[in-house]
Amino acid sequence: MAGVEELRARLRAFLAFARPKTLHLQTDGARTVQLRRIADIRLNQFAVRKPNMNAVDVNGLLAGDPAKRKFAALALEERLFRPEDAALPLVKQSEELGYFVECCILADVLTMDQMRGLVREFGAANPLAAAAPPPPAPETPPAPSEVELPEKIAKLLGNVQDLWSIPATTQKLIGALSNPNTKIESVVGDIERDPGLSAQMLRVVNSAFYAVATKVSSIRRAVVMLGYQTAKRIVTVASLVSKLGKEHSDVQFDLKSFWGHSLWVAYAAQTVAQISKLGVPDEHFSAGLLHDIGKLVEYQYLRHAMREILSGVAGGGRYEEVETRVLGVNHAVIGACVCAKWDFPPAVVEAVRHHLDPLDSLEDQELPRTAMVVPVLCALSKSTPSPEEMERFGRILKLTPGQIAEAQGEATRTSLGSLKDVFAYA
């Protein structure tokens, strides 16, 4: 592929230019060796689930300190490579992946000012050539997978076609973002034609999660920084939530509290994933944000039953017990069916399905660890966890005491209020 070959040659040339100059910048040789070893481990683990990583994926995976997570953005800002290049697949054990990892490591051991100076000096001597057009995206997006609904849910909601059908515009975008060869101008144009989705993209990329140096104001740069896979997830989440987030005056359901809790779980799950290197952090964020989505299905499409459920809760009943009595099924099962129909990853679907399970049950479940984070956090969020419960939290997720302490510290440092603009539903 011409684009990959050009990216490989440019990264190789930059490293050949930069390495002699870094001898005078007092780089930490021991830290460089350690970072290479850590990079190999993380990339080997991650490549099993996602063989076609792009530059933003790799940079986010390797950066232990969010303040250092800027090389990909720096390379774009200073035109070391193009936005299209950042979306190209970096295949495991390929030369271009190796060169890009070395650039990330170099940015980690230097200061950002030193790295920026090197990139600018190289760019002045080697201006970026005009972009070659990548292969066209497929005209027909892939159809969503067929999911057989459980009998009780089919009886309740099987005829609600609006819930189970993904809008054509969303399908088109998902199909385009699933193809690493899609021309970025095509994706950007489709997103920009939807003002709500455009605003959503910019909120996410400018949030505390991505620690960008300067505010991102263009959809093109947002897509590049997020990567196609994260952008695809945002498109899907935004489209699903837009269906279910409308207010109804005939049901007294507190949407603000609902989204406040959902965001707390989403952020906590992503934080645990980042600290433990467990799976893809934005998948955990999606699972946390959507774990109670079944309640919104009830709110939108089963409002008579929802009023009965809320009345029972006001009378002292537990939500899931009352809804099971009224509907014959709980919102965890409903939400998992919706997420499966909307083609979310299996770990997200199973996290939603099991988020009501108590800790005792979770320890006995044969779920992948990537599906356990949100259920464990939901179990802990029902009360102030005791030291014994925190120990079980670590045991279930296979976290060290140091990782647990780091997660607790991050939760203390970050205000939920600063996260509410990520998804404007709280």
Q: What rounded mean pLDDT belongs to the chain?
A: 78
Is 214 found in the same domain as 102? Answer: no
In a domain, 30, yes or no: yes
| CA 421/CA 263 separation, integer angstroms | 10
Question: Could you report the average pLDDT of every consecutive run of 10 residues in the chain (426 residues)?
Answer: 76 86 63 70 59 68 52 80 77 77 82 85 80 46 57 86 83 84 87 85 71 76 82 85 83 86 83 79 86 94 94 94 94 92 88 89 77 85 74 80 73 47 42
The per-residue pLDDT for 270 is 82
Q: Token pair for residue 100?
A: 């890009």
Give the residue among 72, 321, 87 at the shortest CA–CA distance from 187.
Answer: 87
In a domain, 12, yes or no: yes
Give whole-number Cα distances, 46 to 37, 58, 132, 372, in Å: 14, 9, 29, 18
| CA 168/CA 164 separation, integer angstroms | 12
Q: How many domains does the chain have?
A: 2
Residue type for position 122? F
Is 157 found in the same domain as 44? Answer: no
Residue 373 neighbours by CB distance under 10 Å: 29
Q: Token pair for residue 231?
A: 């952008």
Are 393 and 376 in contact, with CB atoms under 8 Å apart?
Answer: yes
Q: Token pair for residue 221?
A: 């740069």
Give the residue among 261, 87, 256 at the shortest CA–CA distance from 180.
Answer: 87
* 247-275 pLDDT per residue, tens: 888 898 988 888 888 888 888 888 888 78
Is 411 found in the same domain as 326? Answer: yes
Q: Token pair 């997660």 is at which residue?
A: 407
Question: Which residues span the domain enclosing 257?
Answer: 151-419
Is 409 found in the same domain as 334? Answer: yes
Are 181 and 135 in contact, with CB atoms under 8 Å apart?
Answer: yes
Is 195 found in the same domain as 74? Answer: no
SS3 24: coil
Is 353 found in the same domain as 407? Answer: yes
| CA 29/CA 250 separation, integer angstroms | 65
- The last residue of one of the domains, among 109, 125, 141, is 125
Is 96 found in the same domain as 170? Answer: no
Is 99 found in the same domain as 24? Answer: yes
* 109-166 pLDDT per residue, tens: 787 788 888 988 898 888 876 544 444 444 444 444 455 677 888 888 988 888 888 8
Q: pTM value?
A: 0.63
Is 120 found in the same domain as 165? Answer: no
Q: Write out the DSSP string of 307-320.
A: HHHHHHHHTT--HH
In a domain, 383, yes or no: yes
The per-residue pLDDT for 392 is 78
The per-residue pLDDT for 128 is 76
Is 387 found in the same domain as 252? Answer: yes
Domain of residue 246, CATH code: 1.10.3210.10
Give the residue among 345, 355, 329, 348 at the shortest CA–CA distance from 158.
Answer: 329
* 192-214 pLDDT per residue, tens: 988 888 887 887 777 655 656 67
- The last residue of one of the domains, among 91, 107, 125, is 125
Are 269 and 374 in contact, with CB atoms under 8 Å apart?
Answer: yes
In a domain, 143, yes or no: no
Is 391 found in the same domain as 278? Answer: yes
| CA 291/CA 285 separation, integer angstroms | 10
Q: What is the largest CA-CA distance in the chain?
A: 73
What ranges make up the beta strands (E) of 173-248? none
